[in-house]
Structure 1
Amino acid sequence: MRIAITFVVIGVGACVGFAQSPAAAPANPLHREYREGQKLAYHMTGVNDGWHYAIDGDGAVTKDASGRFVEQFQWTHMTSEGQPVALTTPADYRQRLTLDPGVNPSAPDVRNVDPKMVGPVTDLMTFYVDLWLPSKLGVLKKAGDHFYFRNPMGPSSWADGKTVLVGEDLIDFDMTLKSVDAAAGTALVEVKHVGPQDGRLPLKADWMKTPVGSGANNWVEIRKDADGKYEAGVGSETFTVDITVSLADGHIVRGSMENPVITVSRVCEDEALTKCGELKRKEIVRKIEVGERR
């Protein structure tokens, strides 16, 4: 589900990119002021369904072929349960990110990335896009400002029509500028990824419409197995992302992410999903923290 949500965020970013113009920098405390050659160093820790890991990311501000600023990160020094982990990712791999409101976010290239690194790569991208979005919109200018961004795209699908008959999710963004601390030189923004309030995700069977969490279900998948039966699941995936931003230049100082995932699934005999077996529930909580490494 994490990868699916990633591409929803990217798609929403692209829509905003075409629909809005950049906010004026002086009125926007989240504006990123780039300086070519600037170095960034982060340490990320994560807990994913009981698995503890840590990894370092070292970045540098450069310009791309079009002259736009980007941040290129190299990932190193990963540990799993406190023990060093060897990574198979090519040494020259760099993750490209940007907070430039004039550049639409793009999905990370993880084709040659060690599977253990996919989580850190997509999580850092989430921090960046969650800051890019309110900065681009220019809607959070003073402490207490709040904006609910209704996803204009509709459900994102990963169905292939063969094994995965239905695979869709949908999220909205609930954004608040929690504080602006001039003395500390930082601003704190909170971005929540939430299920749509109006239940816009199409669900095939009545049992799928009962919320599995505190909000509307925003994820559904139906697979057909080799025996001709249907494995159907529905769920709720939400994020609460807090990002502390430097008022001096808009770079990320630190961030935290809490990502609860709740699903229920059943094996059904019919495509209408009315003749189904026992309901199975699964809950996972991911907690990610990232901060500057001194």
Structure 2
Amino acid sequence: MFNHTIKIATIGFLWLSLGLHAQTTHKTPQRPAPAPTSASNILERRYRVGETLNYVMKGVNEGRRYEATAKAVVKRNTEGSYFEEFTWTGLTMNGKNVPLPPEASNFFQDVSLALDYGMSIPDFGKVPMLVGPVLDLMTFYVDLQLAARQGTLGHPGDHAFVKVGGANSWADGRYVLEGEDSLDFDITLEKVNTAEHVAELLVKHVPPAQPGITVPVEWMRKRVADTPNNWMEVHKDDKGKYVAAVGKETFDVHIQVDLSDGKILSATMNNPVDTIERTCSDEYLMECDEAKPHHILRQIELTLQR
């Protein structure tokens, strides 16, 4: 249903690099190492048990559109950490309603902006149609939590750079034979409007100076764009041939934060991947047709309903 769904799921592997917990079962996450905090951390979330939030998410993925609605209730786990328990309540694809199965009412997504909370990827087994919205929502929460954990972003122009650099794999060994990306985080507090109690944050997911991806063949080493290649994938098509692609991936994530309590007011994500793609007859990717450019673009927006 979602094109390049497997690529979207790389976000989960990226969270592993950040010390968060990517899991395939729904359970209470373990606490990560304590994060720096202070009374002046304007991005830190201040939760109230029982608080409810309603969001609408809209996404465009290579021309295909979805819209999803979700409701969150703030809770506190046995370890004392606050979290938001999301229930997804509606989904449309290209303007057509997608009925959610009965199991969706028992599918809960737990996310949190609390600095001591480690987020988990839930089990999509019974609700595969929600994989895109769920992981896109987690991207926004992970990015804001990461920014707040820096403890140094309090004034317009304040900046932090978080190096990750390692390879994140989404290969499943069946459809995707090889698939990796490599990203660092460039975080800037762009605006602080104390009169309206709103801060604006930009989190850029950028190629590292030396990306950690595996390059299985020499032709994939040549730069596709203006940075070293930080994204690659090899999969089999329906004719049994090998489709290999390599290129540059980035994310620009803008988040509006309510300074009164730290909740997300709105957020947008622009996720382009510029690649070249070749179809090969051999597993060594040596006997291939001419390279063809392929531009992937995902655009997501999240809005709090008041």
Asked if Structure 1 and Structure 2 have the same fold, meaning a TM-score greater than 0.5 normalized by the shorter chain, the answer is yes
Give me the whole-angstrom Cα distance separating, in 2, the residues matched to 1:19 and 1:69: 14
**Secondary structure of 1:102's match?**
coil
Which residue of 2 is the match for residue 65 of structure 1?
Answer: 78
Query: Corresponding residue for 2:114?
Result: 100
Select between 29-38 and 198-207 the one with higher mean Cα deviation.
198-207
What is the 5 A alignment of 1:51-62?
51-62=64-75
Q: Which of residues 18, 33, 49 in structure 2 aligns to 1:12?
A: 18
Aligned twin of 1:232:
244
Matched residue of 2:47: which SS? coil
Q: In 2 relative to 1, CA 210–54 (structure 1 residues): closer, same or farther, beyond 3 Å?
A: same
**Does the aligned pair in 1 maintain the 2:17–2:164 contact within 8 Å?**
no
| Structure 2 unaligned regions, length at least 5 | 1-6, 22-29
Look up the match of 1:263.
Answer: 275
TM superposition score normalised by structure 1: 0.89
Please tell me the root mean square deviation across aligned C-alpha atoms, in Å.
Answer: 2.5
Structure 1 unpaired stretches of 5+: none
Structure 2: how far apart are the matches of 1:225 and 1:121? 27
| Gap change, CA 1:231 and 1:284, over 3 Å in 2 | closer
Residue 213 of structure 1: aligned partner: 225
Q: How does 1:32-51 map to 2 (within 5 A)?
A: 32-51=45-64
- Residues 31, 117 of structure 2: 8 Å contact kept: no
User: Cα–Cα, structure 1 residues 160 and 22, in superposed 2: closer, same or farther, change >3 Å?
Assistant: closer
Does residue 279 of the first structure (1) align with residue 284 of the second (2)? no
| CA–CA distance in structure 2, aligned partners of residues 96 and 164 of structure 1 | 28
Deviation at 1:44, TM superposition (A): 1.3
SS at match of 2:18: helix
- The alpha-carbon distance between structure 1 residues 162 and 94, as it changes in their structure 2 partners (threshold 3 A), is closer
TM-score by length of 2: 0.86
Q: How many residues align?
A: 291
| Cα shift at 1:167 | 2.4
Tell me, in whole angstroms, the C-alpha distance in 2 between the residues paired with 1:287 and 1:20.
Answer: 32
1:41 and 1:59 in contact (8 A); partners too: yes
Structure-to-structure mapping, 1:91-170, within 5 angstroms = 91-115=105-129, 117-151=130-164, 154-160=166-172, 164-170=176-182
Classify 1:108/1:10 alpha carbon distance in 2 versus 1 (closer, same or farther; 3 Å): farther
Aligned mates of 2:214, 2:31 — CA distance in 1: 27
Q: Paired residue for 2:99, among 74, 81, 86?
A: 86
> Residues 13, 176 of structure 1: CA spacing in aligned structure 2 closer, same or farther, 3 A cutoff?
farther
Does residue 1:189 correspond to 2:189, yes or no?
A: no
Quote the offset at 1:271 in angstroms: 4.8
